[in-house]
Amino acid sequence: MPFRPSNLLYSAYERRLRAELNPARLPQHVAVMADGNRRWARRNAPGETLVAGYEAGATTLEEFVTWCDEVGIKIVTLWVLSPSNLDRPEEEVGPLLEVIVALVQSLARAKKWRVQIVGALEMLPDATAAALRAASATTEGNPGMHINVAVSYAGRQELRDAFRSLLAEEASRGATLEELSHTVEIDQISRHLYTAGQPDPDLIIRTSGEQRLSDFLIWQSAHSEFYFCEALWPDFRRVDFLRALRAFAQRERRFGR
């Protein structure tokens, strides 16, 4: 039989990794591409619907948020749905949206984090969008960690919306397109992103062995560090998270210089 480390060994390893972390070198903003839920369902729940994978993934997302809070991460961004996911069959999309709403409501009930929904909510069913907005609104006064939940989110779509917002704002001030073509600056565009006012992610984690950005935070990730993990998202453990933080702390960040 293959050797399988005991929970006691894992706990000891986790404690060692945690002790080795330098708080001064931890990321302030961590984003995660929680990939592999459907593959996990097919491997671990054959014969069941794919919702088993989404539910397992949501459980791991809640654990992930807690791990981030424990080590002092200030901002977390969770990508849970892209617009292309909405093109899947209704029998899959409906249960997925229910899982996402339940996740956001659970995070809101913790009453210690600010939960912000980022994405094109107008693409969602009205009831789903309303439930997400309502849950987010209950957290507005919470002083703790800031959690972005990216729902119906795509980076190019975010840039389109940012430019539309910027153009509308400048037009209301009487600016012409010719003037904007000479005066628009990077900071102006940043102020119209879904994540306006937030620092860009220092670390982006992607699971399931995929190594591509897939239209996630394409503006904000210009100087982000990436960490790719082979585990499918529902199998992502605290030890994997700590390894990602250790890898980040060991890198020399140059910010394009």
Active site residue 200: no
List 69, 85, 142, 215, catalytic entry: 85
- Domain 27-153+200-214+232-245: CATH superfamily is Decaprenyl diphosphate synthase-like (3.40.1180.10)
Sequence-ordered list of residues with C-beta below 8 angstroms from that of 30, at least 6 positions apart, any chain? 68, 73, 75, 76, 77, 201, 202, 203, 204, 205
- pLDDT, one tens digit per residue, over 141-186 is 899 999 999 999 999 999 999 999 999 999 999 999 999 989 999 9
Report pTM: 0.93
Domain ranges of the chain: 27-153+200-214+232-245, 156-193
- pLDDT, one tens digit per residue, over 147-159 is 999 999 999 999 9
Nearest to 193 by CA among 147, 227, 148: 148
Residues 5, 192: Cα–Cα separation, whole Å: 48
Active site residue 35: yes
Nearest to 157 by CA among 226, 217, 104, 206: 217
Residues 84, 102: Cα–Cα separation, whole Å: 21
Are 23 and 245 in contact by the 8 Å Cβ rule? The answer is no
